[in-house]
Amino acid sequence: MLWIKAFHIIFVVTWFAGLFYLPRLFVYHAQQPPNDTVALLKIMERRLMVMTHIGGGLAAFFGLWMLSLGWEAYLSQGWMHLKLVLVAMLAGYHFWCRQLTIAFARDDNRHSEKWYRLFNEIPSVILIAVVILVVVKPF
Ligand code: HEM
C-alpha cells in the first residue's frame, strides 16, 4: 500500500505540473506573439498535454488501486466522497485544457489573456482542498 501511495503522489505531482503550466502557456499564446513564437508555443502545449495525460492517467490508476484495496472503509468516509467529487472536477478541467490546446493549435482561441489568468487559479483551489481532505480527514 505504501509503495502504491508513493507512486500515486509522484504522478499527482506530474499531473499538477502540467495543469499549472499549460494555462501559463495559454496566457502567453493569447498575447498574440510573433509567428515563430506561436509555432513554438503550439509544440510546447502539445508536448505538455501528453505529459499531463500520462501524469493524470497514472495518478488515477494508483489512486483507484488503493481505493480497491480498502473499498468499503473508504466509501463510508465523507472526506473521500468529497475528494472524489473534486478529482472529477479536476478531470473536467484537464479535458477543458485539452480542448483549449486543440483550439490554439487551429488558431481558434476565443478567450483573453485575463481569462486565462483566472482559469489558471482553478487547479490551485482544488489542490489545496484535496490535500487538506486527505491529510486532515476532517469528516
Ligand atoms: C482518481 C483519482 C484519485 C483516487 C481514486 C485517489 C485515491 C486515493 C486513496 C484511496 C488514497 C489513500 C488514502 C489513505 O489511506 O489515507 C489516496 C492518498 C492520497 N491522495 Fe489520492 N486519489 C486520487 C487523486 C488524487 C489527487 C488529484 C490528489 C491531489 C490533489 C491526491 C492526493 C493524495 C495524497 C496527498 C494522498 C496521501 C494522503 C496521506 O496518506 O496522507 N489524490 N488517494
Q: Which residue is associated with the grid cell 482544488?
A: 126
Q: Tell whether ligand 1 has an atom less than 6 A from the beta carbon of residue 90.
A: yes
Residue 73: all three cell numbers together: 472503509
Q: What is the pLDDT of residues 37-63, one digit of tens each?
A: 999 999 999 999 999 999 999 999 999
Residue among 124, 99, 118 at smallest CA distance from 110: 99
Q: How far is the CA of 64 from the centre of ligand 1 (A)?
A: 9
Q: What is the pLDDT of residues 113-129, one digit of tens each?
A: 999 999 999 999 999 99
d(C-alpha 17, C-alpha 47), whole Å: 13
Which pLDDT score, from 0 to 100, does residue 61 have? 98
Q: Tell whether ligand 1 has an atom less than 6 A from the beta carbon of residue 25.
A: no
Q: Tell whether ligand 1 has an atom less than 6 A from the beta carbon of residue 23.
A: no
DSSP at 70? S
Q: What is the pLDDT of residues 10-36, one digit of tens each?
A: 999 999 999 999 999 999 999 999 999
Which pLDDT score, from 0 to 100, does residue 126 have? 98
- Nearest-atom number in ligand 1 for the CA of 69 is 10
d(C-alpha 26, C-alpha 112), whole Å: 9
Helix axes 35-69, 2-30, angle to 10 degrees: 160
Q: Which residue is associated with the grid cell 484495496?
A: 69
Cβ neighbours around 1 below 10 Å, total: 9
d(C-alpha 12, C-alpha 14), whole Å: 5
- Nearest-atom number in ligand 1 for the CA of 15 is 27
d(C-alpha 99, C-alpha 15), whole Å: 17
Q: What is the pLDDT of residues 57-97, one digit of tens each?
A: 999 999 999 999 999 999 899 999 999 999 999 999 999 99
Over residues 96-116, mean pLDDT:
98
Q: Tell whether ligand 1 has an atom less than 6 A from the beta carbon of residue 60.
A: yes
- Position 131 confidence tier, pLDDT thresholds 50, 70, 90: very high
Residue among 43, 53, 60, 52 at smallest CA distance from 17: 52
Q: How far is the CA of 7 from the centre of ligand 1 (A)?
A: 10
